[in-house]
Amino acid sequence: MVTLFDVPVGKTATVKHVNGEGAVRRRIMDMGITKGTDIFVRKVAPLGDPIQLNLRGFELTIRKEDAKKIDVEDIR
């Protein structure tokens, strides 16, 4: 399975599923990362953490551990 962490900089992917349990999953979904959302990977810090994203008309920065919990498809 491909996760958001695996998407290269400058590419867009569609969220397939948000993994995790309880508060962690809820926090990710509250940030607007839900099934079917297109996410553009804008930047990745030199050590891989954090990752800057564009989605739903705003910019969002998430930790790589959270990005590994987001399954994606249709990388373009």
User: Residue 43 maps to which CATH number?
Assistant: 2.30.30.90
Q: pLDDT per residue over 10-19, tens digit each? A: 999 999 999 9
User: How many separate domains does the chain show?
Assistant: 1
Cβ–Cβ under 8 Å, residues 41 and 53 = yes
Residue 60 DSSP SS3: strand
Q: pLDDT per residue over 40-68, tens digit each? A: 999 999 987 899 999 999 999 999 999 99
User: Which pLDDT does position 19 carry in this prediction?
Assistant: 92
User: Which pLDDT does position 42 carry in this prediction?
Assistant: 96
Q: What domain range includes position 67?
A: 4-73
Cβ–Cβ under 8 Å, residues 24 and 69 = yes
pLDDT of 5 above 90: yes
pTM of the model: 0.88
Six-digit token pair at 27?
Answer: 């926090």
